[in-house]
A and B are shown apart, each in its own frame.
Chain A
């Protein structure tokens, strides 16, 4: 794959990549480091992509791992989380949903994002997160249930 083709595919994923970072990292600077690291890693490891049709889940998986590495670095340097950045101003309903999402466990948030928003199948999400399909289904169910409890309404209707 040429750099142009690689860049075109990554650029097409831009909003998804931001949401994946946002689901795992609260600080803007960390998200910037994660996406750069993921781009470099993926470019170097192109030979690990056996089927170019699987580029998107393959790249997202690399990004998830880059985010996790940054989380680990923070925990190793000092056992304290940086305070989350203040969210941009918007309406109260959206803010309430954002707070509820932030309150979910990261693994539930990622499963909900990848399945319901990004449209990947349970099987694809399982491959991205290196989980069994039943584990993904369980996280989806628990995540939805928790969101419903916090928001007092059904979520993620089609």
Chain B
């Protein structure tokens, strides 16, 4: 007899990665309680931003639309930067395809201070669906897929195109049906430089739907920015426009997919498992670009400092702060900040390392500067000095308060920071 304890054990206990992911999400919610929508760290290969459907007033869509103002509804820093996020020049990308008609991708706002870059853009969310029945030759190019469009919730069905709905209903009824989706959309890759030769790496992003159905996106890029993008007086930004099509066919028993056009050449590619595969699937194809130039916004940097004690040991803290970024440096005498890592040793000899401390930095209004989660110390566990990075609040604070939380002991230390002369 297999008992339920064994069943439970077979599905495993939460692993380190799962625990870390859950803890990080809950920390972010605690830190941002006042904000109704969370910004999500973009993971490599999965640039799927948190989707927030907003109902916007007609006034917001009038001429002079400022996307920083819209995203700033739940991120005060962006609201502060909105007046400085106007572009120098802007050329929308206008494309036309037989299936999706005319559509436009437009870089609407950007903010750049030589060190940081934030860009907001829109596309028309152009998608069209048609019924599709493959020939035997076409079916041979398609890949069998498990579980596709199964378990669709009723509310999801209501948001689908009628052709998609027909597919779901046919699949539930065990009847053959297929569709093809054609789409045109803004790439999630952006390039800089006169010829677009420098790829910018996104760090965090957000997106929303405007009242007129367009999609609006906000992208913030990794710092330090690449050589050739840092410390420029002006930047030219290039955003590719992509076209894609994919087909789905249910033959009454199995489901088949093909990503890309029907007449694509067979190609060999390396999958994430490191193995080489061959097939007819292909990705989106660039068909145009939106271009804009943004001028550098002069920004002021201020240094703050404070003293405190932690675990009974004096701690000196300095912070260099701009409107969008704060770097905090801690120096402790003795061993106050020793062992910044909790080491979880595995029976097989490996080890997982978790940061022992959590930090919050708030300004005089109580607004939180978001910690980027990184501790830049040395490579030894006994470091007593560290650098921490935070997002700014869109302006220079009058004063700051750093809170150090020890996750092992639940100990808390608060250190007040005031501007240095």
Contacts and interface: CB of A to CB of B under 8 A. Distances in A.
Interface of A: 2-4, 6-7, 10-11, 14-15, 17-19, 21-23, 28-29, 31-33, 35-37, 39-40, 43-44, 65, 68, 71-73, 75-83, 87-88, 93-94, 97-98, 101, 106-107, 112-113, 116-117, 129-130, 147, 151, 153-158
Q: Which of A18, A28, A75 has the most CB of B within 10 A?
A: A75
A18 B12 contact: yes
B53 to A, nearest CB: 10
Interface stretch (B18-26, B107-115, B327-335): B18-26
B38 interface: yes
Contacts of B140: none
A33 B81 CA distance: 30
B391 to A, nearest CB: 17
A87 B11 CA distance: 10
Nearest to A98: B10
Interface in B256-283: 257-259, 271-273, 277, 281
Given A39-B22, A39-B25, A78-B259, A65 B153 contact: yes
User: Is chain B's binding surface mostly helix, strand, loop or mixed?
Assistant: mixed
Contact of B6 (A3, A80, A97): A97
A33 B2 contact: no
A80 B277 contact: yes
B281 A29 contact: no
Q: Which of B6, B14, B36 has the most CB of A within 10 A?
A: B14
24 contacts: A4-B30, A11-B22, A18-B12, A18-B15, A22-B11, A23-B11, A36-B24, A75-B148, A78-B259, A78-B271, A79-B145, A79-B258, A79-B259, A87-B12, A94-B10, A97-B2, A101-B10, A101-B11, A106-B147, A107-B150, A116-B7, A147-B2, A156-B3, A158-B4
Contacts of B20: 32
B10 A97 contact: yes
Interface string B136-155: 00000011111111110110
A2 B33 contact: yes
Given A14-B19, A28-B17, A71-B147, A39 B6 contact: no
Given A22-B12, A157-B4, 10 more contacts: A7-B29, A14-B14, A18-B11, A18-B13, A19-B8, A32-B20, A33-B21, A79-B281, A82-B272, A153-B2
Contacts of B50: 37, 40
A35 B37 CA distance: 16
A82 B273 contact: yes
A28 B18 contact: yes
B10 A32 contact: no
Given A3-B33, A156-B7, A43 B38 contact: yes
A151 B2 CA distance: 9
Contacts of B17: 28-29, 31-32
A157 B277 contact: no
B413 interface: no
Contacts of B304: none
B40 A40 contact: yes
Contacts of B38: 40, 43-44
Contacts of A40: 25, 28-29, 38, 40, 50
Contacts of B37: 44
Contacts of A113: 7, 11
Contacts of B272: 82
Nearest to B277: A80
A157 B1 contact: yes
Q: Which of B10, B48, B153, B272 has the most CB of A within 10 A?
A: B10
B173 interface: no
A82 B43 CA distance: 17
A32 B271 CA distance: 21
A18 B52 contact: no
Q: What are the nearest 3 A-B pairs in CB distance? A: A32-B21, A79-B143, A39-B25
A157 B7 CA distance: 10
Contacts of A71: 147
Contacts of A73: 46, 48
A79 B28 CA distance: 33
A34 B281 CA distance: 26
A83 B274 CA distance: 10
B33 A75 contact: no
Nearest to B40: A40
A43 B277 CA distance: 41
B151 A39 contact: no
Q: Which of A72, A79, A98, A101 has the most CB of B within 10 A?
A: A79
Contacts of B258: 79
B9 A44 contact: no
Contact of B18 (A3, A32, A117): A32
Contacts of A14: 14, 19, 22
Nearest to A109: B11
A74 to B, nearest CB: 9
Given A4-B30, A43-B29, A76-B259, A36 B22 contact: yes
B257 A112 contact: no
Given A19-B8, A76-B259, A157-B3, A7 B26 contact: yes
Nearest to B9: A94
